[in-house]
Chain A
Amino acid sequence: MLNQFKKSLIPFVMAGYPSFEESLRYSIVLIEEGATALEVGVPYSDPLADGPVIQHAAHVALSNGTNLNTVFSLVREIKKLHPNFPIILFTYLNPILRYGLKNYVRSAVQAGADATLCVDLPPEEADAYVQFHREVNLNTVFLASPTTSPERLKQIALFSTSFLYYVSRPGVTGEAAQVSSTLAHELSAIRAEVSLPVAVGFGISTPEQAGTVSKYADAVVIGSRFLSLMALGHEAEPQIRALARNSILAMNRGDQK
């Protein structure tokens, strides 16, 4: 999985948003446009790390009856069409605990997921979670942020496989006017400590921002902007395609600089 993340776009889709069928269709659209991996969101009623767009998407998905089994179905459907395409589950802890941690890991692997990220599970509380993932060779992705100390970073890197997810700024998910001016410095410090590829997310929403971030990062995650476009209905599909395509182009241009 390591090389797959070089200068990559990782779009975020919310399973069941705006509907199950549309989350599947948009996932395929994003793969067709050149995404390298997909983050598939598990809707949760009280998502602490998310801004209004993802909160809203989660509530719509839940009101559609989306649950973890639906999420696994979505992963299976994507994998039927694109068997080798990497999928990362983006979750909160409580739905996993209710499902059963071991069951969750087993079902995720059976569905074809390649990695999981649990937003509100810090490494201090993650021993069993990591152990169960290791038993079935399912990757674990943990978050690092501008507030992470060097000591914590070591633990986060130790628990992360495939890549490290760096939160671009203190704050929640959502669109931001500009990329943090300290990102280059922060990422160079991380690279000095961590050999894993680094994906950067939270607050990135335009091709220009993706291009800027990709100068320092291996992958860029775009979430809220895609969901906002999905909310506009089918006529927004060209915009979704354009955002994915132009972001990848910008990242590649950034690569050449």
Chain B
Amino acid sequence: MNSMHLMQKGRFGDFGGRFVPETLMAPILELESMYREAQLDDAFQNELSQILKDFVGRETPLDYAARLSALAGGNARIYLKREDLAHTGAHKINNAVGQILLAKRMGKTRIIAETGAGQHGVATAAVAARFGLACVVYMGEADMQRQEPNVRRMRLLGAEVRKVTTGSRTLKDAVSEAMRDWVTNLQTTYYVLGSALGPHPYPLMVRDFQSVIGREARAQILARESRLPDELIACVGGGSNAIGLFHAFIDDRDVAMIGVEAGGQGFKPGQHAARFHGGGLGVFQGTETFVLQDNEGQILQTHSISAGLDYAAVGPEHAHLRQIGRAQYHSVGDAAALEAFQILSRTEGILPALESAHAIAYALIRAREAKVGSIFIVNLSGRGDKDMDIVEAALKGASC
């Protein structure tokens, strides 16, 4: 089974579609058609591969975490797919490169993006700079405060960072503002959506650009262990790093795929971002999927210690994979993620992004239950430099 074959009307099974104001329908249809053309164009694919190699630094290593594996009981050999070593420090750059090449192909001169943790904003700003394109990044005021180092990075890369002060002042409001900008500036502007979310074709396109992670990981683990892994584990905000890792393994039924959502501070509304735990089916920001919402269909506020997971909806392909039983989704709270952040730092010498720390935390739980000789691949979606202030503040708070 390949989820591509299931796509009808831009859907993954029952999820996805396109739910946008009429003015955005034409650019979305144009984008879909241009993307289909680009997929079949060898020149486009060659340029993409070249930039991924020379600018992004692919392939990223698959790193055996010996001390982490031992600490987790030794039943599982835990490998880390090192997306934190990609240029700008996260998997986000894979998608930014792909979409900006597409923007160039479409003759657009201005790039806009939204960002939560700032990694997508930094990646987009970097690629826009590389191609000499104007770049505006929308970011919630709350996220600008907690991810300030990335705000500075974006500005140094020549991007304008626009503060979003509406709603929860986080990622969902930044997405809305980016869509409003796009609808107002259609002629010149390309919207680089940062996760496998939004109206079709974004979830498909972002999945495709990120699936390089899983293709590499699959070849690397076969070369290293001569067999496929037992489990893939990745954090899920919108879900682009997870779907990027999972995609190449979807047909390998014996490989379990586990997404880890943000359990935040508990399961009361507003305290977490675990859409599969507390959410329901809804339509949000262009796509039909699991959404955290109240009884009136209003979108709920969310919370996570990691800005990149702090989002009210999950990518539609994840909703589909869960519905058909191909992937499982669990959640990990702030405290466990914080602990995993420290564990990985001290056992492997790697500061993980707080987003990725959720996946590490869950891998530690799973490894203790795993049968001896299991192989896990955990996607280390980004590096944690951006999170040092949050981690230090949280640790100080915890010790008071």
Contact = CB atoms under 8 A, between A and B. Distances in A.
Contact of B22 (A51, A143, A171): A143
Interface stretch (B118-126, B210-218, B280-288): B280-288
A171 B23 contact: yes
Contact of A97 (B26, B283, B295): B283
A46 B102 CA distance: 28
A94 B23 contact: no
B183 A120 contact: no
A67 to B, nearest CB: 5
Given A148-B26, A171-B183, A124 B283 contact: no
> Which residue, A59, A122, A148, A167, has most C-beta atoms of chain B within 10 A?
A122
A46 B22 contact: no
A97 B179 contact: no
A147 B293 contact: no
B22 A122 contact: yes
A135 interface: no
A153 B240 CA distance: 34
Interface in B344-370: none
A48 B24 CA distance: 10
B26 to A, nearest CB: 4
A81 B26 CA distance: 42
Contacts of A64: none
Contacts of B282: 94, 97-98
A192 B64 CA distance: 67
Contacts, number: 114
A143 B184 contact: no
A83 interface: no
A45 interface: yes
**Interface of chain B, helix or strand or loop or mixed?**
mixed
A69 to B, nearest CB: 9
A7 to B, nearest CB: 24
A119 B296 contact: no
A32 B185 CA distance: 38
A46 B297 contact: no
A122 B180 CA distance: 17
B180 A172 contact: yes
> Which residue, A93, A120, A146, has most C-beta atoms of chain B within 10 A?
A120
Interface residues of A, number: 40
A252 interface: no
Contact of A45 (B22, B280, B283, B298): B298
Interface in A77-112: 93-99
B302 to A, nearest CB: 12
B18 A156 contact: no
A95 B297 contact: yes
Contact of A98 (B176, B285, B296): B296
Given A97-B297, A149-B26, A121 B167 contact: no
Contact of A144 (B22, B24, B185, B186): B22
B186 A170 contact: yes
B284 A46 contact: yes
Contacts of B166: 52, 55, 59
Given A46-B176, A48-B21, A94-B284, A147 B26 contact: yes
Given A48-B21, A48-B179, A99 B297 contact: yes
B27 A147 contact: yes
A29 interface: no
Contacts of A48: 20-21, 176, 179-180, 285-286
B346 to A, nearest CB: 41
A191 interface: no
A46 B301 CA distance: 11
Nearest to B312: A46
Given A122-B19, A147-B186, A94 B299 contact: yes
Given A46-B167, A124-B9, A98 B295 contact: yes
A183 to B, nearest CB: 14
A48 B9 CA distance: 22
A49 B21 contact: yes
Interface string B254-293: 0000000000000000000000000011111110000101
B172 interface: yes
Contacts of B19: 93, 120-122, 125
A49 B24 CA distance: 10
Contacts of A59: 166-167
B70 to A, nearest CB: 46
Interface in A151-197: 152, 156, 167, 170-172
A68 interface: yes
Contacts of B293: 94, 98
Given A122-B19, A147-B186, A172-B180, A98 B297 contact: yes
B184 A170 contact: yes
B23 A156 contact: no
Contacts of A52: 166
A226 B21 CA distance: 22
B233 to A, nearest CB: 31
Nearest to B166: A55
Interface string B166-204: 110000110010011001111000000000000000000
23 contacts: A45-B299, A46-B172, A46-B299, A59-B166, A59-B167, A67-B296, A68-B296, A93-B283, A94-B282, A94-B298, A94-B299, A96-B297, A97-B297, A99-B297, A120-B19, A120-B286, A121-B19, A122-B19, A145-B22, A146-B23, A147-B24, A167-B21, A167-B22
Given A48-B286, A49-B23, A125-B19, 5 more contacts: A55-B166, A99-B296, A124-B18, A125-B9, A148-B22
Interface of B: 9, 17-27, 166-167, 172-173, 176, 179-180, 183-186, 280-286, 291, 293, 295-299
List of 7 A-B pairs having minimum Cβ-Cβ separation, nearest first? A98-B297, A147-B26, A95-B297, A49-B21, A143-B22, A145-B23, A171-B184
